[in-house]
């Protein structure tokens, strides 16, 4: 049994931390989505994991861990996979957050059954991995580069922490703490220890969560080791090269050819460019930011800040997705942002939310929070259907009508990933520090926070993102002086701030895109924010050739797209006029969000000839755009984010 001690001095270096998910109750825009996850998606995830054979692989009391079943259209099969533990871990995590929102005895019993199976599977020394215990025994810790061993452990740890927060049950947490202790005995700088790290970063984030939940410094220390060791070449040899030789393989026999794929090409503090597999990249940078925050390690900041700029200035889709290539599920070269073939994996946008949130651990900064919001509302949320049962893996910005959500996927990482993000959204809304509370995202919610030694309840009342009005009411347990930092979204050209009815000049209180309000706060104090939400046209850098002569539409945090169900076929024949005004309109089937409606042109050719000497005719037409994240929830059809637009005269 792990000893759960109080937090220690390592935690004192932390500046801003997100509240645990049980500290925030969420309604408003995300409330119905969390309800759907709690009542539908959580069961759906477990149903499909178990149907695929994951519990058969885990439970030593069950035979046939090599089960195969049909999926999707019955033309393919799912077979046992080395990363299944991670899918179970994320599914448990999503379900745990659902339980916080809405108790469900049947769902809890299902999780307990899975936890019990992992308990029976665990070795006496703490080791726990269904693939290496039941499918390939004897090969543990022999191929960290390719085989997700530590990655799986990380997702199980995160699921255990979430289930502990949701139910107070420690069995899964104890199981994973024992496994973490075993890992710490295997990996480290000591004599006889392995100086390795996972080819798929993730365990770094999980160990920080485990350390925060248990108060045990050793888990934070292990996270720091994995971050510090990555890309090092002790004795002039890369760990993955030595590992390959030890298993009798040529290190050059590597499908991806370069260790940039796993961000292990050079030590992390020397890295300056976002490279390789997009999800692995953002998970690593999240872990780096966590370590920087927990240990007050400023040596990681130059790398983090420069990599962030490289991503957001040259490689980020307008939807907050990134990683254009299906080949490596990741990065290629700067300004390579194709639309129809965009990969932009749902998990990558989810991971970007994680990374941005952790960058905010270093202090409120709109540069990170605005990107977090963009990725959340667009590139990530698109991965989950409104009914909570279907999922996108890759997310193009243009479709000819053949791209649709999956019922399941042969690599089902995205379904539980987007579900756990949405169901835990409360933890991303706020940040707590010694004498400051930050509000990063706006959503109807009630948060129980603590700063300046006092418990503070904050109530947000808002219809955001449909409207830009937000009212926050503070209820400290007694009067206390502290700073309340409120994000001023970069997309809003005009902001009004009132504190107890008194209008403040935003410029007089703004710092790094946040209104910093320091005062003696008393129960009943309230702040009213009004963010102007015009429809904005976004233009791509001229180096992004595919988007020239086109615009993307944005209102508030939402990026919009055209769908064939609203606009007919040939969406590329539609052209926006320079001064077209937009109106908001209610449309069924898009989650209660406004559609944007304007008048433009539709181009029509005079003949069916492929080429002619005559320009197409333009016919006035109504153009209707809907939020990108809700596309493909209604009838099949085309989709387009970057819309042709006549240039201003």
The pLDDT tens digits of the residues spanning 79-116 come to: 678 999 999 999 999 999 999 999 999 999 999 999 99
89, part of any domain = yes
- Using the predicted structure, report yes or no on whether residue 312 has a pLDDT greater than 70: yes
State the catalytic residues. Answer: 329, 413
Tell me the average pLDDT across 314-342: 98
State the average pLDDT over residues 127-152.
96
Rounded alpha-carbon distances, angstroms, from residue 270 to 228, 281, 303: 11, 14, 7
- Of 429, 453, 488, the domain-final residue: 429
Task: Please report whether residue 270 resides in a domain.
Answer: yes
- Residue 522: what pLDDT? 97
Specify the residue for token string 């035979």: 63
If DSSP codes are grouped into helix, strand and coil, which group holds residue 440?
coil
Are residue 544 and residue 523 in the same domain, yes or no? no
Q: State pLDDT tens for residues 433-458.
A: 999 999 999 999 999 999 999 999 99
Using a cut of 0.75, tell me whether the model's pTM lies above it: yes
pLDDT digits (tens, 9 = 90+) for 223-269: 999 999 999 999 899 999 999 999 999 999 999 999 999 999 999 99
Question: Which of 566, 558, 593 has its CA nearest to residue 381?
Answer: 558
Return the number of other C-beta atoms located less than 10 Å from residue 568's C-beta: 15
Q: Is residue 409 part of a domain?
A: no
Mean pLDDT of 517-537: 97
Instruction: Among 531, 559, 576, give the residue marking a domain's end.
Output: 531
Name the domain count of the chain. Answer: 3
| 547: in domain | yes
Domain identity same for 555 and 466: no
pLDDT at 579 over 90: no
Residue 540 tokens, joined: 């791509």
Q: Give dist(CA 116, CA 129) in Å, integer.
A: 14
370 and 348 in a single domain? The answer is yes
Q: Which residues contact residue 438 at a Cβ distance below 8 angstroms, ignoring those fewer than 6 apart? A: 16, 360, 364, 430, 431, 484, 485, 486, 487, 514
Q: Are residues 115 and 214 in the same domain?
A: yes
Please report which residue ranges of 193-339 form alpha helices under DSSP H.
203-214, 217-229, 239-246, 278-295, 301-314
321 and 456 belong to one structural domain: no
Q: Is residue 402 part of a domain?
A: no
Task: Tell me which residue range forms the domain holding 478.
Answer: 434-531
Q: How far apart are CA 24 and CA 32, in angstroms?
A: 15
Whether residue 194 lies inside any domain: the answer is yes
Based on the domain organization, do 527 and 539 belong to the same domain?
A: no
Which pLDDT tens digit goes with each residue over 477-501?
A: 999 999 999 999 999 999 999 999 9
DSSP single-letter state for residue 562: E
- Span 356-372, mean pLDDT? 97
Q: How far apart are CA 265 and CA 271, in angstroms?
A: 9
Between 109 and 2, the more confident residue is 109
pLDDT in the model for residue 648? 73
Report how far residue 574's alpha carbon sits from residue 561's, in angstroms, rounded to the nearest whole number: 12
Same domain, 422 and 567: no
Same domain, 484 and 337: no
**Same structural domain, 346 and 442:** no
* C-beta separation of 318 from 552 below 8 A: yes
Domain membership of residue 375 (yes or no) is: yes
pLDDT at 78: 53
From 209, 357, 366, select the one nearest 282 (Cα to Cα).
357
Residues 527 and 444 placed together within one structural domain of the fold:
yes
CATH code where residue 476 lies: 2.60.40
User: Worst-scoring range by mean pLDDT, 164-168, 188-192, 406-410, 595-599?
Assistant: 406-410
Are 115 and 255 in the same domain?
A: yes
As a whole number of angstroms, the distance between CA 438 and CA 359 comes to: 13
- Cβ neighbours, 10 Å, residue 138: 6
Is there a single domain that holds both residue 571 and residue 616? yes
Q: Average pLDDT of the chain?
A: 94
Boundary (domain end) residue, out of 385, 405, 429 = 429
4 within some domain = no
Q: How many percent of the chain have pLDDT more than 70?
A: 95
**Following DSSP, what letter does each residue of 20-33 receive, concatenated?**
PGGGEEE-TTHHHH
- Residues 281 and 275 sit within 8 Å (Cβ to Cβ): yes
Where residue 364 sits, what CATH number does that domain have? 1.50.10.10
């Amino acid at each position: 049994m792990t000893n759960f001690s109080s937090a220690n001095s390592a935690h004192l270096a932390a500046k801003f931390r997100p509240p645990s998910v049980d500290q925030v109750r969420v309604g408003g825009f995300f409330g119905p989505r969390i309800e759907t996850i709690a009542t539908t998606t959580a069961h759906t995830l477990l149903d499909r994991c178990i149907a695929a054979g994951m519990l058969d692989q885990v439970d030593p009391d069950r035979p046939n861990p090599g089960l195969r079943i049909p999926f999707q259209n019955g033309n393919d099969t799912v077979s046992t996979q080395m990363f299944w533990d991670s899918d179970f871990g994320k599914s448990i995590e999503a379900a745990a957050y659902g339980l916080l929102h809405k108790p469900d005895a049947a769902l809890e019993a299902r999780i307990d059954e899975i936890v019990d199976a992992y308990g029976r599977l665990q070795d006496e020394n703490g080791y726990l991995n269904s693939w290496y215990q039941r499918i390939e025994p004897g090969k543990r810790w022999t191929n960290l580069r390719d085989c997700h061993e530590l990655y799986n452990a990380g997702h199980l740890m995160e699921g255990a922490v979430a289930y502990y927060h949701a139910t107070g049950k420690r069995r899964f947490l104890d199981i994973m703490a024992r496994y973490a202790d075993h890992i710490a005995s295997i990996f480290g700088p000591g004599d006889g220890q392995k100086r390795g790290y996972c080819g798929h970063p993730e365990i770094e984030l999980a160990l920080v969560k485990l350390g925060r939940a248990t108060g045990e410094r050793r888990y934070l220390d292990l996270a720091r080791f994995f971050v510090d060791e990555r890309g090092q070449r002790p004795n002039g040899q890369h760990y993955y090269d030595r590992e390959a030789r030890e298993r009798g393989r040529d290190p050059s026999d590597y499908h991806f050819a370069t260790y940039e794929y796993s961000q292990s090409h050079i030590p992390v503090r020397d890295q300056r460019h976002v490279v390789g597999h997009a999800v692995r990249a953002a998970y690593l940078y999240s872990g780096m930011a966590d370590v920087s925050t927990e240990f007050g390690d400023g040596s990681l900041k130059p790398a983090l800040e420069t990599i962030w700029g490289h991503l957001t200035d040259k490689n980020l889709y307008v939807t907050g997705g990134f990683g254009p290539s299906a080949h490596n599920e990741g990065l290629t070269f700067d300004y390579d942002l194709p639309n129809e073939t965009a990969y932009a994996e749902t998990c990558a946008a989810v991971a970007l939310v994680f990374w941005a949130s952790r960058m905010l651990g270093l202090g409120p900064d709109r540069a990170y929070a605005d990107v977090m919001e963009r990725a959340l509302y667009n590139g990530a949320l698109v991965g989950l259907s409104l009914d909570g049962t279907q999922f996108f893996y890759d997310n193009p910005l243009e479709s000819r009508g053949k791209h649709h959500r999956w019922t399941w996927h042969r690599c089902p990482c995205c379904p539980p990933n987007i579900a756990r993000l949405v169901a835990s959204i409360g933890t991303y809304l706020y940040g707590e520090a010694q004498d400051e509370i930050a509000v990063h995202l706006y959503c109807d919610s009630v948060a129980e926070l603590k700063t300046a030694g006092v418990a503070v309840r904050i109530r947000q009342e808002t219809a955001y993102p449909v409207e830009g009005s937000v009212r926050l009411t503070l209820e400290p347990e007694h009067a206390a002086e502290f700073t309340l930092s409120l994000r001023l979204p970069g997309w809003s050209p005009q902001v009004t701030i009132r504190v107890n009815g008194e209008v403040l000049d935003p410029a007089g209180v703004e710092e790094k895109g946040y209104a910093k309000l320091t005062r003696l706060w008393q129960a009943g104090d309230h702040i009213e924010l009004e963010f102007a939400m015009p429809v904005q046209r976004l233009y791509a850098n001229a180096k992004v050739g595919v988007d020239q002569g086109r615009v993307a539409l944005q209102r508030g945090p939402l990026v919009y797209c055209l769908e064939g169900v609203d606009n007919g076929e040939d969406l590329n024949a539609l052209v926006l006029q320079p001064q077209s005004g937009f109106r908001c309109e209610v449309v069924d089937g898009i989650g209660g969000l406004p559609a944007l409606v304007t008048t433009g042109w539709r181009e029509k050719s005079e003949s069916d000839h492929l080429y002619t000497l005559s320009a197409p005719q333009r016919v006035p037409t109504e153009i209707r755009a809907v939020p990108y994240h809700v596309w493909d929830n209604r009838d099949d059809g085309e989709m387009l984010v970057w819309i042709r637009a006549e240039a201003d005269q």
